[in-house]
Structure 1
Amino acid sequence: MHKYSISMRLLHWLSALLVVGLFAVGLWMRNLGYYDPLYQVLPFWHKSVGFLLLFLILVRLFVRGVTRQPGHLSTHKTWERILARATHWVLYGLMFGLFISGYLVATADNRPANFFGWFDIPVLMTAFENQEDIAGLIHEYCAWSLIGLSVLHAAAAIKHHWLDKDVTLKRML
């Protein structure tokens, strides 16, 4: 059984953990009132961890490009291979949709976004009308789509493990 490299496995599971955590915090933030003590704290952490996830995904794409990835199993059907490849690229696309829209929300007031209080991420474009609302809506749709597709991705891995009894899931563990 050819497994994914340890770096790919760590980046996969760390990314998954951060995606779920950011989604949960994002849902929580939507219900905070202006006078809630977490009203300023949670968005700061959400943005910083979001930028960290962007960095991890860029590293993951780099590692994916320079390391040998295990091929599909011979038991995988053609439609499963096509669907798996498409799903992975759509997951990446949704994450980049989240990164871009999140950045546009964070910089809608023409102020740089801050990364854990260490440095500022500059505003790269002048704000457009209703930027925060439009980007926020895109961010929300991408987040729900990413979570939905991630659930299907996990269900497919479980299907391979329990029903097909193949090593698809074990290669990422």
Structure 2
Amino acid sequence: MEDRPGPLHESPTYLMFELMRLARRTSARMFPGHLRMPHMLVLECVARLGPLSQREVAEHLRMDPGDLVGVVDALEEAGSVRRRRDPGDRRRYALEATEDGRLALGTTLDDRARLNEALFEPLSPDELRLLKDLMLRVLAHHDHRFACPASRPPGQDTAAGAARRDRASS
């Protein structure tokens, strides 16, 4: 039986799905036991913008609050974040990155740079820049956080968009 490419090979969404699966497998092989992408996103958000409530983190990252609970629990258990009563509203908790969490985040960002080098090795620097530009254009069309500052509506979160663009270039 010949294994010929099927019609899904023409689908950009299918190719992105397979690329993400490749990224997860490669990351797990290269950096076993290190922070996974959802954990890294939450930790980076709290380290950069915190202290924040879980609701605020979910809003910033556009994550389902139910999914966020497990990620925060794992980060807290690892000693990367801590929950403290919010002095402004004693009914809620605020998440803060710990020093260990900030160190883990720095290591993870370095790991991500090496992961990107391994994954995108077949591309020239110009091709990689083009790929990132095309992905950012699609994302910016649907999500203002990825828009260039000049094209972003007034009052939008420019720090969050800049941080995401910086990560995308890593």
The question of a shared fold, defined as TM-score above 0.5 by the shorter chain, is answered with: no
Instruction: Name the TM tier (shorter chain).
Output: 0.3 to 0.5
